[in-house]
């Protein structure tokens, strides 16, 4: 059988991969048996996971919409994943038809699939890069070009920094990105936290510890620290459904069960 174009040559299909496991949670079709097995185990352990992932996508959509409505036309989506639905360029362009987006991911499948979707789109680019080397990421011509105009850029680090270990210095990585962002830029960030469900944190982290990409769930204080140098937009760092919900009832009775913390900060 001919290899589909979203599977780059040499892709390791035997080891579960976070981008593709996330695609399983969201009901996507760009994953392999090993990814589905890992997602199955994780959901068995924690049945609310698919709901949490959808709450995360909901936050991403509302944050992009919020910034596009305030005039943002440049978006840098780091750890963008496999664009299952509601990708940043789609959301932003409903409000800003000329919005430019650069997608960045470390996973070749996520990158290949994004390239297929964006083929022929002159205002969107996809690069394969590791955010743990932020200076190299910023030096990529597509990223450098997005930042060069000096216009505000929305930098998205949505559900990705929990794949960066403490010793890899997540705060330092954000600082390097911040220092390259023009005045008025924004940071859109969500992050897995153990605070809402301390009972689930251990087993969930143990499962990811067996993959090449371990998961570090963090405290609210740690997540707030990632916004160092940014002014947090109301309502600050909150559980995913609590960030500017479209309808009050969409928050649900237990937003803490969605465990992810989210916020948007602006640079003055
Ligand atoms: N941001 C999307 C969202 O919130 O819907 C996707 C989140 S998905 C859980 C995490 C993504 O981060 C995956 O696609 C993974 O490949 C990517 N990722 C993990 N570590 C990374 C790194 N060091 N540099 C760039 N991307 C990374």
The two three-digit tokens of residue 180, written as one number = 């390259």
6 lines ligand 1 (CB under 6 A): no
The lowest-confidence range among 137-151, 160-174, 194-208 is: 194-208
Give residue-wise pLDDT tens across range 86-122.
899 999 999 999 999 999 999 988 998 899 889 999 9
What mean pLDDT value characterizes the chain? 93
Atom of ligand 1 nearest to the CA of 110: 14
126 lines ligand 1 (CB under 6 A): no
Burial category of 200 from C-beta neighbours within 10 Å (exposed 0-12, middle 13-18, buried 19 and up):
middle
pLDDT band at 1 (very low <50, low <70, confident <90, very high): low
173 lines ligand 1 (CB under 6 A): no
ipTM exceeds 0.95: yes
pLDDT band at 184 (very low <50, low <70, confident <90, very high): very high
What domains are there in the chain, each with its CATH number? 49-247+254-266 (3.40.50.150)
Rounded-to-integer distance, Cα 215 and Cα 227, Å = 20
In eight-state DSSP terms, residue 31 is -
Report how far ligand 1's centroid is from the alpha carbon of 107 (Å).
Answer: 8
C-alpha closest to that of 257 among 204, 194, 188: 194
Q: How many CA atoms lie less than 13 Å away from 162 in the CB half-sphere?
A: 25
For 49, the enclosing helix (H) or strand (E) is helix 49-69
Do 164 and 173 meet the contact criterion of CB atoms below 8 Å apart? yes
């Amino acid at each position: 059988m001919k290899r589909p174009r979203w599977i780059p040559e040499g892709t390791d299909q035997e080891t579960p991969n976070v981008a593709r496991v996330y695609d399983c949670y969201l009901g996507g079709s760009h994953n392999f048996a090993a990814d589905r097995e890992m997602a199955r185990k994780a959901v068995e352990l924690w049945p609310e996971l698919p709901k949490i992932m959808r709450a995360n996508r909901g936050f991403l959509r509302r944050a992009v919409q919020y910034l596009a409505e305030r005039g943002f036309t440049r978006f840098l989506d780091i750890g963008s994943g496999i664009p299952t639905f509601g990708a940043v360029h789609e959301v932003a362009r409903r409000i800003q038809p000329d919005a430019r987006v650069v997608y960045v991911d470390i996973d070749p499948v996520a990158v290949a699939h994004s390239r297929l979707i964006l083929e022929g789109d002159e205002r969107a680019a996809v690069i394969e890069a590791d955010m743990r080397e932020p200076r190299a990421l910023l030096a990529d011509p597509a990223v450098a070009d997005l930042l060069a105009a000096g216009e505000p850029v929305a930098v998205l680090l949505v559900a990705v920094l929990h794949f960066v270990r403490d010793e890899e210095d997540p705060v330092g990585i954000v600082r390097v990105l911040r220092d390259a962002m023009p005045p008025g830029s924004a940071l859109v960030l969500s992050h897995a936290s153990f605070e809402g469900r301390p009972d689930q944190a251990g087993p969930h982290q143990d499962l990811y510890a067996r993959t090449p990409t371990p998961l570090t769930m963090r405290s609210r204080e740690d997540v707030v620290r990632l916004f160092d140098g940014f002014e947090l937009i109301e309502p600050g760092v909150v559980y995913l459904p609590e960030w500017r919900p479209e309808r009050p009832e969409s928050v649900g009775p237990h937003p803490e069960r969605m465990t992810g913390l989210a916020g948007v900060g602006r640079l003055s």
